[in-house]
Structure formats: C-alpha cells, structure tokens
Structure 1
Amino acid sequence: MRFSALLISLSVGLGGLSSVSQAVDNVRFRGALVADPCTLRVTDENINIDFGSIVEKYLYINTRTLGVPLVLHLDDCDLSLGNMVKLTFSGTENSRLNGLLAISGASQTSGIGIGIETQQGNKVAINTGSYNQGLISGNNTISLRTYVQGEPDAISQKTINPGDFTASATFLLEYE
C-alpha cells in the first residue's frame, strides 16, 4: 500500500511539472522545402580562382588581364521545374571600378579590382548585375571569365602596389 501511495504522489508531482513546461511556447520552427531544377556540383560550391603572377607593367599597358575561366556545373536539370537560371554575385564593390569586386583589406597590393564577364566580354557587375542562361535537360555548364583590372587613377599615376591579393564573392543561383 505504501508503494502505491508513493507512486501516485510521484505521478501527480511529475504531472504538475509537465504542465508548466508545456505552457511556455518559446521554440518555433520554420523553413521551406523547395525543388530546384538542377544540382550544383559539390566541387563548385567553393571556387578558387588563381590569377598567378601578374606583372604590374602589363596592367599599365593593357589596363586588365585576359580572362581566367570561372565554370559552374549544373547537373540533372529537370525542365519541368525551371528552364532558366539567373546567376548573381555579391561582395564588396571597388569604389573606383564600378561593378568590380574590391580586394580584401588584408591584401598587400592596391590599385586593382576583380571583374567577372561573360564569354562575349559583357561585364557581370557585383551586387547589381546578373547573368541569365537557358537550361537544357540534363547537365549544363555556365562559363564566365574573371580578370584583374587596374583602377584608372592607379594606372595613369602608375601607383599600383605589387603584392599578394585576395577577394571573395558569393554567387546565387535563381531558377525561373
């Protein structure tokens, strides 16, 4: 009998605690489950572009380098979910080169920016521009080019500082 009374007492006590913890609604869950038409290859999620060594005199003469490929692979595209992809880049814009990416503050060099363009040479401006491409069923490739360009004043005054540089941007794929 004692055992039964103790058990009832514990269950009443736990029931009281249970109702208190249920009264507080402080965790909310939210999300969206989407179906993208294509799958971005894992190897394209983080891309490193290496411009190698650039001779500053080349920039004084040509203002910019030749384009270095930037390729994104979209696999298993299902056109019933979308037949167009819009690619945009965001990052810190160079204040002296509209639409070009600024190099990071930790870089040793100055007087340059990083540009992105189509294969036809049309600029894809950082933060404001985009590149649209139609999709085909199956695997698709987006082929762009990146380049280093000297700032106009740095070129005219020959004040490009040589050294290592880095920059970073984020790309976004939107399907239509």
Structure 2
Amino acid sequence: MKYKLMTSTIASLMFVAGAAVAADPTPVSVSGGTIHFEGKLVNAACAVSTKSADQTVTLGQYRTASFTAIGNTTAQVPFSIVLNDCDPKVAATAAVAFSGQADNTNPNLLAVSSADNSTTATGVGIEILDNTSSPLKPDGATFSAKQSLVEGTNTLRFTARYKATAAATTPGQANADATFIMKYE
C-alpha cells in the first residue's frame, strides 16, 4: 500500500512538474533603445531632398607634388542639391550659401581637418563653386548665382576641389564639413 501511495505521489509530482515546464514562459518587456525622428516643415518655395540634406562628396586622393604654387587646384568634383515639390509661384529662383570653418590663410576656402586623430594635410583648402564656376566663400552669406525654379523637382549643381594655400603641402587627411542655407526669391 505504501508502495502504491509512493508511486502515485511520484507520478503526480512528475505530472505537475512537467506541466510547469511545458507552460508558456511569462512575457518580459525591457527597454530596447531610442529612435530619433528628425524633419522640418518649411514655408518655402521648395523642400530640400533628404538625399541632399546630408551627403558626402569624395574629392579623391592627390599627390602633394601636384601642388607647387599657391592657387594650384585639383579637378572639380560635381555635387548637387535637389529640391522637391517646388512652386515657382511662391518664389521664382533659388540660391545657396555654404557655411563652414574658413581656412586661416584663404578665408574663401574651407579649412581641412582629419576625421579621427590622424594627421591633417596642410597647405590646401576646399573651394566650392556654383554652376557659373564662381567661388562661394563659406561664410553663410555669399550666395550662389540664382537659379530659376520650375514646378516640381529642381537640381542645383555645384563643384568642389582642393586649392593650394601654400607653395608646399604636407600629406594627411583633407576633410571639411559645411552646412548650406537656401534663399528663395
């Protein structure tokens, strides 16, 4: 009798334990992180394309021997700012000004720097030119030539290049950042 009682008790315990193991786990919620959403509503003739708002222009790699005199330049590298949903009835033209750290030797150029703790090139700056090949001082106030707007999408074209600020240059990274300001008239 004791044996049957013990066997049935063990069987019951195993059934209860098995049921506990087989039950669905209790849901757990934990903080997973943060997502930042950014944007802007503008009361303007156009909206800047998200692809143009944050872009990288690769100027390339050049030998220091290419810069033998102040004013030597590299090839112009094209880039553009795309405007969407333009309404020329609101404004007929658009112009752009760039703002960034100016070169100490030539304030018409962007100063170069390195993205990390590596060596920064010296003796060069970055020149931005508008669609008429006019240089744009990176002061946030020198605007490009006005470009006429059409209904819908418009592409404003620019170029950038390295320009020597000294007769001799030293190797290193030659990066720069600039923000841009739109003017509609």
Q: TM-score range by the shorter chain?
A: 0.7 to 0.9
> How many Å separate the matches in 2 of 1:122 and 1:145?
10
Q: Contact 1:83 / 1:175 at 8 angstroms: preserved in 2?
A: yes
The answer to whether 1:140 aligns with 2:154 is yes
> How many Å separate the matches in 1 of 2:133 and 2:65?
23
Q: Displacement of 1:69 after TM fit?
A: 0.6
- Relative to structure 1, the CA distance from residue 141 to residue 34 in structure 2 (aligned partners, 3 Å threshold; closer, same or farther) is closer
> How many Å separate the matches in 2 of 1:52 and 1:71?
17
The TM-score with structure 1 as length reference comes to 0.72
Q: Which of residues 29, 39, 42 is equivalent to 2:47? A: 39
Structure with bigger gyration radius:
2
| Count of aligned positions | 140
Where 1:60 maps in the other structure, the secondary structure is coil
The TM-score with structure 2 as length reference comes to 0.69
Correspondence for 2:132 = 120
Correspondence for 1:7 = none
Correspondence for 1:88 = 97
Correspondence for 2:25 = none
- Relative to structure 1, the CA distance from residue 165 to residue 35 in structure 2 (aligned partners, 3 Å threshold; closer, same or farther) is same
Correspondence for 2:106 = 97
- Deviation track 1:9-61 (CA, whole Å, cap 9, x = no partner) reads xxxxxxxxxxxxxxxxxxxxxxxx74221121111111111112111112226
Quick check: which one's helix share is greater? 1
Give 2:180's aligned amino acid: F
Q: Which of residues 55, 59, 77 is equivalent to 1:51? A: 59
The answer to whether 1:164 aligns with 2:177 is no
Q: Contact 2:113 / 2:120 at 8 angstroms: preserved in 1?
A: no
Q: Contact 1:113 / 1:148 at 8 angstroms: preserved in 2?
A: yes
Give 1:36's aligned amino acid: A
Q: Quote the sequence identity (%).
A: 26
> Which has the higher mean CA deviation after the structures are superposed, 82-91 or 116-125?
116-125
Give 1:175's aligned amino acid: Y
Q: Which runs of 5+ in 1 are unaligned?
A: 1-32
Q: Displacement of 1:120 after TM fit?
A: 3.1
